[in-house]
Structure 1
Amino acid sequence: MSAKTYSQPPEFNLDPEKSYKAIVEMDNGNKITIDLLSKEAPKTVNNFVSLARDGYYDGIMFHRVIPG
């Protein structure tokens, strides 16, 4: 599966009255909820939310190992 590409950033569509969260579902069925800080990083959150709504992250595996 190849990653979808975009020619430009998405239109700004965040609602300033809403809070945004990302829910990451793990292989074992557990879920992690991440608060997206739209007031601190509005463009980054807008990009993330737009990509998520477009299905960009669906099925993407990721991991991070932190020693200790």
Structure 2
Amino acid sequence: MKKSNYKKELIMLPLLFISIGLCIGGHFILQPSYQDTPWAEYSLAALPFLMFAIVIIAIKLAVKADKDE
């Protein structure tokens, strides 16, 4: 069994916090007071693409960390 390198796992922690912030921000934008603003529609439409980009970055970091071991 491989010994885990915690430093390489901690590198992904900011990506987790960013994705949590995007989820909370998306729910905040869904409030009724922001429904008539045009920027809310565009930002909500961009959220899945931003999260998908974060997933791709995380996969690349995980593959790189696996190759280094």
What is the TM-score normalised by the length of structure 2?
A: 0.26
Using CA pairs under 8 Å that are at least 6 residues apart, name the structure with larger relative contact order, 1 or 2. Answer: 2
Structure holding more strand per residue? 1
What is the TM-score normalised by the length of structure 1?
A: 0.26
